[in-house]
Structure 1
Amino acid sequence: MVRRIDVTRADGVRLAAWEFADPPKGGTDTEDAPGVLLLHGLMGRASHWAPTARWLSERRRAIGLDQRGHGRSEKPADGPYTREAYVADAEAAVEQLGLAPVTLIGHSMGALTAWQLAARRPDLVQALVICDMRASALGAASQREWDDWFRAWPVPFATLADVRKWFGEDDPWVERPSPARGEFFAEVMAERADGWRPVFSRRQMLKSRETWVFDAHWDELAQVQCPALVVRGLDGELGRAEAQEMVRVLPRGRYAEVPDAGHLVHYDQPEGWRTAVEPFLDGVLTP
């Protein structure tokens, strides 16, 4: 069972949170179970975490957040889409939903939000999972490539099958398109009068990305006090050397990798992802 819970920020932005509310095993009430907040990456949505949330909810209270500009959350035309706004959104979700001390699990941009919140509010966070997110700066060339990529999208798509085919087979901007990637993007499309279009604004996605892509984030990583697991797909965007340096910088860092997985680790290889993450959670949390 999944139910929506709205979170309202002080600036009036309403965020959609989704509770995967199957009762935890052992007779524990859902609201008394350890809290987990799942944070998707750029262009994602909370529903991308559904397979993860299903096994998490066996013993924990699993909440997925549609971050501002994404999914069913509000998409204010003028933002802000800053790092501060995203971190404050996650903080509000933890506090309003009574999740503290929370485990934060983030993918890509959501992982950066997670470790920035853990660094700034150690009182709220008891464990952290960082999935395929780099701590180093990516630079202006990377941002230009994303701008070009967004412009290349053949929107509107006539059907969802066309969405799956383009992102999963034909996208010339990626080296290894995959069926999982096609499904990932099909989940963030909505039918309009002229065809299928993304549920987010590509302009807003670029604005969100430009607030972190030019900077390195090692200092905040070093401030994370809780146990933290860095997970990379072997074919993802986070290289092994950088991932291991992130583990070294984290005061209580650990490392895991998932074979045959690209950037969308939890979506590409859900069983491999669970195998990597579940022992860490079992080791640091008391169900």
Structure 2
Amino acid sequence: MSQVIMRDGTRVAYRDQQPPPSPAPPRTILLLHGLAGHLGEWDALTPGLLAAGFRVVSYDARGHGASTRRPSTVSRAAHVEDAAALIGELGLGRVTVLGQSMGGNTAMLLASAYPASVSSLILVEAGPGGPNPAVPTQIAAWLDSWPTPFTSVGEAESFLGHEAWARGLEQRPDGWWPRFDRNTMVATITEVTARAYWEEWSRLTSPTLVVRGGKGMLPADEAEEMLRRRPQGTRLTVIPDAGHDVHLDCPGRLLAAMKEFGPVPS
């Protein structure tokens, strides 16, 4: 685990994993997790990406994981600039960007604002969305429902639904707690759900794969509208057995969809 200090002083923790030696230079994929997540969520997908010859860079978004817990801002612009700064700091050049949920929103805005940095885009359970002022209150209620501290990782996994989510917790003397601040999470999602991002979607130039979980939260009509508005640059894949966390529910199916799309060699 390494870190980059952003211009506003925010510390962003990242992991940079190299593929096995090969005559061909590695391509790079940048992985962006969702709200209240952490970079370890990509652990099940990473071996397949490394085996395919990718340099895999993942990071804890500001306010998450090992990054600064309470940054001075959690604006959409700040999240996008963090991703762009990391690409520049590590000299990644043009990258494939894969983002899930909130991370997908960041990935889409990055590709829209910095087209020269993004060779292809993969959005998992993420799209332009629309104004949904009820979401911050719903997220707050969800976070308030966590029976923290959890007495064990097993209890946390049972409640949260995935082992990877439980690994995102930190152990304290009285049990296991989130590494994020509840109010920071609510503030982070507030701007994401304040408006639609169709204008940014229309400005994309990179080939884009939209992955929807059949049991997920990305509405089917929104995904179809994304395809309708960018028919030449967009592919839509539905993984029927997956929920919102496609990368955790069906990592093998997600990798297969990425290989079919093209950025991941077969």
Q: TM-score higher than 0.5 here?
A: yes
Indicate yes or no: 2:262 matched with 1:278: no
Q: Which amino acid aligns with 2:35?
A: L
CA distance in 2, matches of 1:10, 1:278: 36
The number of residues matched between the two structures is 264
One-letter amino acid of the structure 1 residue matched with residue 141 of structure 2:
D
Q: Name the amino acid aligned to 1:16.
A: A
Does the 8 A contact of 2:75 with 2:191 survive in 1? yes
Q: CA deviation at 1:249?
A: 2.3
**Letter of the structure 1 residue corresponding to residue 176 of structure 2:** W
Unaligned runs of 5+ in 1: 168-180
Cα deviation digits, residues 13-50 of structure 1 (max 9, x gap):
221110222325x334xxx4111100001111111112
- State the match for 2:2 in structure 1: 5
- Residue from 175, 198, 205 that aligns with 1:218: 198
Q: Larger deviation: 201-210 or 44-53? A: 44-53
What is the CA–CA distance in structure 2 between the aligned matches of 1:185 and 1:55, rounded to whole Å?
Answer: 20
Amino acid at match of 1:46: L
TM-score by structure 2 length?
0.93
The letter for the 2-side match of 1:61 is R
CA distance in 1, matches of 2:13, 2:37: 13
- Indicate the structure whose relative CO is greater, using CA pairs within 8 Å and at least 6 residues apart: 2
Query: Does 1:262 pair with 2:262?
Result: no
8 Å Cα contact 1:36-1:99 kept in structure 2 = no
The 3-state SS of whatever aligns with 1:185 is helix
Which residue matches 1:27?
23
Structure 2 residues not aligned, in runs of 5+? none
Supply the distance in 2 between the matched residues of 1:153 and 1:105 (Cα, whole angstroms). 28
Amino acid in structure 2 at the alignment position of 1:227: P
Which residue type is aligned with residue 162 of structure 1?
E
- Structure 1 residues 286, 256: closer, same or farther in 2, change over 3 A? closer
Q: Take 1:78 and 1:265, find their aligned partners in 2: how far apart are those partners?
A: 28
Report SS of the residue matched to 1:221. helix
Superposed, 1:1-287 pairs within 5 Å as 4-24=1-21, 26-28=22-24, 32-58=25-51, 59-75=53-69, 77-167=70-160, 181-250=161-230, 252-282=233-263
**Following the alignment from structure 2 to structure 1, what is the Cα–Cα distance between the partners of residues 152 and 87?**
37
CA shift, 1:134, in A, is 3.4
DSSP-derived class of the 1:57 partner: helix
Whole-angstrom distance in 2 between the partners of 1:190 and 1:138: 33
Q: What RMSD in Å do the two structures reach over aligned CA positions?
A: 1.7
**What per-residue deviation string (whole Å, max 9, x for no partner) do you get for residues 174-212 of structure 1?**
xxxxxxx33132121111121110111111111100011
Taking the aligned partners of 1:114 and 1:78, their CA distance within structure 2 comes to: 20
- The 2-side partners of 1:103 and 1:7 are apart by 20
**Aligned partners of 1:22, 1:71: CA distance in 2, in Å?**
24
Question: Could you tell me the TM-score, scaled by structure 1's length?
Answer: 0.87
Are the counterparts in 1 of residues 100 and 126 from structure 2 also a CA contact under 8 Å?
yes
Q: In the aligned structure 2, how far is the partner of 1:138 from the partner of 1:187?
A: 32
